[in-house]
Structure 1
């Protein structure tokens, strides 16, 4: 099947769950025999995308640092038109509402269905992160919301990664549940795997033999709950001097989190690693005693949860969204009672004190191999695409 997909950015330039998913998804679908073509934007920076993924460039306005949102939208619509002229597609598969907004039904042949991957409520996430004035925040929220509604009302079918996001899509956007299919995310289990020699990896990272290492890979943003995790570590550090928390990632909260660490006297006990390479990410998962996902809200799937488990590392997570769905069916004791600093501290203390027994590496990895592989995800997506093509053809024939 010939599929034209549109994403957001490329993961090596703009790390994040959507971009990581899009890259691995494209590769997995090609391995299943589908002719996948992808469109992304990276604003002209050099990215490592393969030849079947094209970067859409939009001209910048005179004197501007980059292209406007409207210009990028027009460029995306033009790129879709050009790709369809070059080679027809059986399915159009957008992954980000903003860059699908101008791809109207008139732009696509009547028989081509639109199957949208819904990776989250863009407007709502933006409102949580927005630190601008009240009026400006409201304007930006309404604009993003309008863009989402315009994009989604054209879609024939939707794919979500969790039951939580199915409910968000149905309740917040009015999408009929029968048009929504839950196909969970997945992980490259060949790359995310236990280390042959875990102690060697720990030494390479400079970790001490007696350290109890907690690791958290998150964008440094408000909804990720990192401030609560750091506050939880204040009490844990006093009771367990061997406990250390390493946080990988970058974002707008970097300086605020750094200041919080200093304020609580946690220098050396909570370490901000900044942005790390994909190779280093795997090493940190392998080396950690436990990975932590402290997200406060809007956790649609929890790719970092599956990545850590694939490396044989147990995960403690807040009981929200996709994280809850992954851990609840595996080991419910890995879920925090809630997202408060007190609940996080209580569970960390229980783990360090031995009151909570963590699953071993084999159990963690087996949970992923049984449910979250790209071969299975690609199979399910392919079946859904075939259904959408058949249904659309029937509508056109009538």
Structure 2
């Protein structure tokens, strides 16, 4: 099958949607399919062979974050050319309501289209107001996928209709084994975090407050943080005596990310909202690391309502400290949660998820022509 995938966000910036698309594309290629991904990216940016750049991305505030999108005459032209040259059997667009390449591709394309919705958000006045403008593009979508119940709810509230529920995939084998960073986790214990430091909804501020509480009772406990952002600014949010026990690595590549997960005793997902699935949480589970996560819908789903990880009251540093402290003090409980997490995350393995996505492709392709450019 010839498959075209449209990515809304810059390939150069780490994010769950970009990673989902990358892993899906590589899994489908491994299964023998021809896959091409178009994404916001500069022409001189190093990209995998299957990725086509569609021009420079522009930062735009979106869903409590800053999304880097591509939308304009240059992008339209490149999408048209990509569709024409690709002659795809099916077009797969991700986040089609975002003003970027997937929406452009829906407007331009003719043929079978599948859309995946990743975002979970409250009713958006912007999306509701722009719905009439988008309708001509979105009505062309033949099959809809939501990565979680939260994402499905967002889709229903803003677009109507329904979607097949297919979760995010996790390359579980990639996370299973790694050598910890030198000197980690250490005899005093370590708690970890991965995410964009300065994005409030990622919850690092909640974790820093919890670390203050935990560190007062555990003199050897350390904090390991990885992700883009101003590390110095985050470090100075801690009392000076604790700064030498908090380590900020900045943005890390995929290999180092796996090592970070294997370098801590407890992984924390303190996100305060806006998550539809929790891919980093699932990756920690695949690494066999016990997880403490905020009690939001996305994490309850992935952690099986607390059976595969500890949940704490959203936004409450004291409750996070209590939950993490219990695990730090109980190696047997950590081991039990790690086993439960590995079992729970197995159903998100890409070998399983990609075949479910292929079933949607096959359904929409039946009786339809290949994807071309609308006249």
Determine if the TM-score, normalized by the shorter chain, exceeds 0.5: yes
Give the structure 2 partner of residue 340 of structure 1: 316
Seen in structure 2, the aligned counterparts of structure 1 residues 335 and 54 have a Cα distance that, compared at 3 Å, is same
Q: Shift in Å at residue 279 of structure 1?
A: 1.3
Contact 1:330 1:367 in 2 (8 A): no
> Judging changes above 3 Å, is the alpha-carbon distance between structure 1 residues 254 and 166 closer, same or farther for their aligned structure 2 residues?
farther
How does 1:193-232 map onto structure 2 within 5 Å? 193-195=176-178, 201-202=179-180, 204-207=181-184, 209-220=186-197, 221-232=199-210
Q: Is the CA contact (8 Å cut-off) linking 1:58 and 1:75 kept in structure 2?
A: no
| Aligned ranges 1:297-312 → 2 under 5 Å | 297-312=273-288
RMSD (Å), alpha carbons: 3.0
Change over 3 Å in CA distance of 1:32–1:175 after alignment to 2: farther
1:10 deviates by 5.9
Tell me the secondary structure at the aligned position of residue 158 of structure 1: strand
Deviations along 1:6-45, one digit per CA (max 9) or x if unpaired, are 113565x311111111111111112223221110122345
Whether 1:319 and 2:295 are equivalent positions in the alignment is: yes
TM-score, structure 1 as length reference: 0.79
How far is 1:162 from its partner?
1.0
Equivalent runs, 1:99-138 vs 2, <5 Å? 99-105=101-107, 107-109=108-110, 112-120=111-119
Query: How many angstroms does 1:283 deviate by?
Result: 0.7
Task: State which of 162, 174, 190 in structure 2 corresponds to 1:191.
Answer: 174
Q: Is the 8 A contact 1:2 1:34 kept in 2?
A: yes
Output the CA distance in 1 between the equivalents of 2:213 and 2:273: 24
Q: Does 1:387 align with 2:370?
A: no
- Equivalent position to 1:259, from 236, 244, 262: 236
| Equivalent residues of 2:291, 2:309 under 8 A apart | no
SS in 2 for 1:101: helix
> 1:25, 1:374 within 8 Å by CA — same for their partners in 2?
yes
- 1:198 aligned partner: none
List runs of 5+ in structure 2 lacking aligned partners: 59-67, 370-375
Separation in structure 2 between the aligned mates of residue 255 and residue 148 of structure 1, nearest angstrom: 45
User: How many residue pairs are counted as aligned between the two chains?
Assistant: 353
Residue number in structure 2 paired with 1:162: 148
Aligned to 1:51: 49
| Cα separation, 1, equivalents of 2:262 and 2:307 | 19
**Map of 1:63 onto structure 2:** none
Dislocated runs of 4+, deviation >6 Å:
none
Distance 1:359 1:34 in 2: 39
* Structure with greater proportional strand content: 2
Q: Kindly indicate whether the alpha-carbon contact (under 8 Å) linking 1:240 and 1:352 is maintained by their aligned counterparts in 2.
A: no
Shift of 1:247: 1.1
Point out where structure 1 has 5 or more consecutive residues left out of the alignment. Answer: 61-68, 128-140, 196-200, 394-398
Residue 90 of structure 1: aligned partner: 89
Which whole-Å CA distance do the structure 1 matches of 2:71 and 2:232 have between them? 31
Q: Of residues 293, 299, 303 in structure 1, which corresponds to 2:269?
A: 293
Tell me if the contact between 1:333 and 1:356 (Cα under 8 Å) persists in the aligned partners: no
Question: How many Å separate the matches in 1 of 2:293 and 2:69?
Answer: 38
Greater RCO between the two (CA within 8 Å, min separation 6)? Answer: 2
CA separation in 2, counterparts of 1:241 and 1:288? 16
Deviation (angstroms), 1:156: 2.7
Tell me the CA shift for residue 359 of structure 1: 3.6
Distance between the aligned counterparts of 1:3 and 1:156, measured in 2?
A: 15
Alpha-carbon spacing, 1:282–1:77, altered in 2? closer, same or farther (3 Å):
same
